[in-house]
Chains A and B, each alone.
Chain A
């Protein structure tokens, strides 16, 4: 159990500022995810924490003391790599036991702990195999066992599921979460997959160009993104131009959207007349019952996707919307419909800064 604090972290690679001032605090036992597209600095941040690279500026503290002067071999962090990084010349048991050997833990205790770690990742009867004789999923289980057997202060995972197919990805996702919970290890997880981040994390930091765009629980990030970038990176998104008409309660606003008035949430203190973007996730949009308000849209395209009909629509202001309707809905291309937005799930965001 350990807590992590990162303050003012910066790292440049040549002319590129890979990390441009990252501050974050991870609580003991928390599952914390760095989410962002490739090149946003999430892996570099993780590698700084692991000690593989030294930051140019800033501090990394674990349990209140800086680890910057501590070499990686004495940080006591378990690391799981995207490409597994198992030692190809060592058996499964020797790979898992590597960290114990380095700590001079030998004999019966080492054997027992290797066995426990392998049981925890549900690998049985493979301990004398070489990595190349295992599937990708099995290899990543070994890598996870190898990282937790040393009882690390932090568990660092760098896109551990990126090389696996969809089915294994799901299986291993739950395994990682179970192991992290059972051990109560503080975990930092790096991924570009929002679904992975949502389902695993206690909190998520969405990163953009070396900085943190927003930190919050999966629910906050998804439903109340600070800006359009965060919304776009955390799931399917519709955004519409919105103008604040007035505040009707703390964080509740009346706003003009697509030619009609509606109620939406937003950060406190928005001024009347402020230009914002309204976030409407596809699942918060629905067809309005006749005479019940809402705004008009014209159907541009309808695609049958099995679970429903995926419809592309445009408002009178030529803004595009995508939503999924039940299969039995009668929609024809070119027809004009009225849509409403669930006010609980409508959110006024800042325009993307970049």
Chain B
């Protein structure tokens, strides 16, 4: 017998896990964000909208929020531009080499987050190998201060997010029938025209998946901005942790977190909605 209950049963362990460790805490956090602050307890008894009033009312928090989203967009854009050619290559290599390239692409993920960031700190530090090499080559006169600024945070995040962008795009491109490129050429389309009218529109589902993943990962990044950005990079995740652990303002911290979730979900929904018309639009000849 094939009933929906049987399939539900197969998914039950994961659903239970998600319920206990995702739905319940999230619900708790949403509830907490509407509570008053209290001393000696995570939150008070009274219900209030004041936390959200503070998020929206204080230009500082709105500035951090928009800066975080902007930085997320920048990192996502850079990752996309760097990953697309790599994905095209990965989708075209023979099966034998595919595994090698696959391992190469996911290599940033093989190192734990702390080790990777400490690695960056060592590589780009004042006396680190990067400065040494540049000095030796005569590219610079004295060591550059490369650590504790925004560019190094962006570089390090793009580095680790590349696999999340490459893999879905490469999958979408692998599904494109190779004869389509021949067909396009035989009909008179030049290389870049084939790319714009065929390759790009057919890869957009993969691009969308990659963009959503990388965007969500970048705006919620914490370890890299803290370790490599020092005090210079103020991101939403850092402010939220400050509120929760530094100030013990749990209800306000929760309100900040929920606000950011709502903002990012809104952006993802928007991206998903424009993806289909965008596919149609790119495919059309102007």
A residues sitting closer than 8 Å to B (CB atoms) are: 50-52, 71-79, 81, 83, 85-90, 94, 98-99, 101-103, 106, 146-147, 150, 156
Contact = CB atoms under 8 A, between A and B. Distances in A.
A81 B183 contact: yes
Contact of B185 (A52, A78, A88): A52
A85 B283 CA distance: 16
20 contacts: A52-B182, A52-B186, A71-B185, A73-B189, A79-B182, A81-B182, A81-B183, A87-B283, A89-B202, A89-B279, A89-B280, A98-B184, A98-B189, A99-B187, A102-B187, A102-B188, A106-B285, A147-B186, A150-B187, A156-B186
Interface of B: 177, 179-180, 182-190, 193, 197-198, 201-202, 279-280, 283-285
A101 B285 contact: yes
A73 B198 contact: no
Contacts of B201: 89
A254 B236 CA distance: 100
Contacts of A106: 285
Given A89-B279, A89-B280, A78 B186 contact: yes
A113 to B, nearest CB: 13
Contact of A87 (B180, B185, B190, B193): B180
Contacts of B185: 51-52, 71-73
A79 B183 contact: yes
B186 A77 contact: yes
Residue among B182, B186, B188, B189 with the highest chain A CB neighbour number at 10 A: B186
B283 A90 contact: yes
Contact of B186 (A72, A86, A87, A88): A72
A52 B180 CA distance: 12
A73 B283 contact: no
A85 B180 contact: yes
Nearest to B185: A72
Contacts of B193: 102
A88 B280 CA distance: 11
A87 B193 CA distance: 14
Contacts of B284: 94
Contacts of B184: 87, 98
Contact of B188 (A83, A94, A150, A156): A150
Nearest to A106: B285
A87 B176 CA distance: 10
B181 to A, nearest CB: 9
A147 B182 CA distance: 12
A51 B190 CA distance: 13
B83 to A, nearest CB: 22
Given A73-B190, A89-B279, A99-B187, 15 more contacts: A51-B186, A52-B186, A75-B186, A77-B186, A81-B182, A83-B177, A85-B177, A85-B182, A87-B180, A87-B183, A87-B197, A89-B283, A90-B283, A102-B187, A102-B190
A90 B198 CA distance: 9
A68 B36 CA distance: 78
Nearest to A146: B187
Given A89-B202, A102-B188, A146-B187, A72 B180 contact: no
A78 B183 CA distance: 9
A73 B186 contact: yes
Nearest to B283: A89
B190 to A, nearest CB: 6
Residue among B182, B184, B187, B188 with the highest chain A CB neighbour number at 10 A: B187
Given A90-B283, A101-B285, A85 B188 contact: no
A81 B279 CA distance: 24
Contacts of B197: 87, 98
Residue among A74, A99, A150 with the highest chain B CB neighbour number at 10 A: A99
A81 B180 CA distance: 10
A81 B179 contact: yes
B187 A98 contact: yes
Contacts of B186: 50-52, 72-73, 75, 77-79, 147, 156
A289 to B, nearest CB: 57
Q: Which 4 residue pairs are nearest across A and B when measured between Cβ atoms?
A: A99-B187, A102-B188, A85-B179, A101-B285
A87 B198 contact: yes
A73 B198 CA distance: 15
Contacts of A72: 182, 185-186
Contacts of A88: 202
Residue among B180, B182, B280, B284 with the highest chain A CB neighbour number at 10 A: B182
B188 A74 contact: yes
Nearest to A77: B186
Contacts of A101: 285
Nearest to B191: A73
A99 B193 CA distance: 11
Nearest to A102: B188
Nearest to B187: A99
Nearest to A88: B202
Nearest to A104: B285
A73 B202 contact: no
Residue among B179, B188, B197 with the highest chain A CB neighbour number at 10 A: B188
Given A50-B182, A79-B182, A99 B198 contact: no
A139 to B, nearest CB: 12
Nearest to B176: A88
A103 B188 contact: yes
Nearest to B188: A102
Contacts of A75: 186
A158 to B, nearest CB: 9
A197 to B, nearest CB: 22
